[in-house]
Chains A and B, each alone.
Chain A
Amino acid sequence: MKGLIRNNFYSMENNIKISFVIALFLAVVSFFVKQEGFIQMIIAMQLSIFIVNVGTSLHADVVSKWNKFELTLPVKSNDIMKAKYISFTILILLGIIMGSITAVYAYAANGFSNARSICYGYEFGLTLSAAMAGIMYPLMLKIGTEKNEIIMIVSAIAAVGLRALLSAVLTPLTGEMNMQHPLVGIVSAIAAAVIFIGSYFVSVKIYRHKEFS
């Protein structure tokens, strides 16, 4: 499985570098911007910027026919999917690390005064990245990667929609439909994590029934 994960990262290497540069630029921007609203959006963007490479990864596999070839390797089909989802988890972790640069600086500059804003950035970023990956990958596996940009946009909209839906569902507990409420943030992040984990099992099932001609 180590080889499969290594291959995933080699094929995304260039795009990951670009994501790093963008995340680093956003971190630098955060040093000069004091508004809490910007800080939380920068953290959310840093958390989710790496996960857009999920589409790149699968598209590269299809173009090079690696997705067909890897089935002939001495690995179980479950392990191929596991390697993919471990790679996605690492991408999310990379986002968390980059987001933490912004969070640490914001804390150093202003203390805990904007802690809620930082938390919101993490919650929203995690919801966006985990739900996006969880929705995007099985969809691409099922219908192909030709329309990967559209699938990515649909996944992002679905991830935001998830948060909106939960804020509506949780109205009796939060008092009003408030997407920035801490409870909505935490429940959304947990729901996105559940989608991500569930997506693995869906992908395994799709992969087992997929034919490569």
Chain B
Amino acid sequence: MTTISTILEITDLTKFFGGLGAVRNFDLTLKKGDLNGLIGPNGAGKTTVFNLITGIYEPTAGDIVFNNTSIVGLEPFEITRLGIARTFQNIRLFSNLTVLDNVRIAYHPHTKYGMADGILHNRKFDIHEKELTEKAQEFLAIFGLENLQNEIAKNLPYGQQRRVEIARALACEPRLLLLDEPAAGMNPREILELMDLIHFIHDRFDLTILLIEHQMRVVMGICKFITVMDFGQVIARGTPKEIQENERVIEAYLGKGAGHAA
């Protein structure tokens, strides 16, 4: 990376659900090209942070700045159009549609023809629809899903559904990609493939990636920098090695006293 500039800056982010503070005074800074991890025990508020960044929840307090503009209060689709895409913890594909349509839908905001052209099916529609389809097929080809393009998404095996979801997120043409537990439910071989895949898309699309993950192997293996959350607050930051040795992290994961035993 030649330019060292900030792409995402979260300051003092707080979210209360009623009296429950799901996220409190959360800070995070991502530089262009980072591949960072966000970990923490169950219920620590990691997915809430993702939902706050993508606009599904509105923060109680704090600011989220993406590419020098505040995105607090924007609609989720507007945030996506600015260049933040995500995947979901429990896969959320458009399950009754084909794999190709899943990716084509994600490309919708970049469509170059309007509704009127669509209704008339004119020449402009033909040209851009073809272009759009080819673009979607390119994304599928990158993930080796080309031959499955006409399959209904819900009929695919789990690992491939994950791939389709990542392909779909990339079709939004994001600059920042948020992956929510991409390795959940995968077997060891699939996890290795996934780690390759994440490295590969990170380099190929010049992306900034933030991922939530429970599988320590994945996080420690691919992330350059890790933020650890517990009870809605940041308890540690550092490189994988630093995190592995951090007492508060061990305490959060294994309980009090475990740190001393180790």
Partners in one complex: no
**What is the interface of chain A, defined by CB distance below 8 A to chain B?**
none
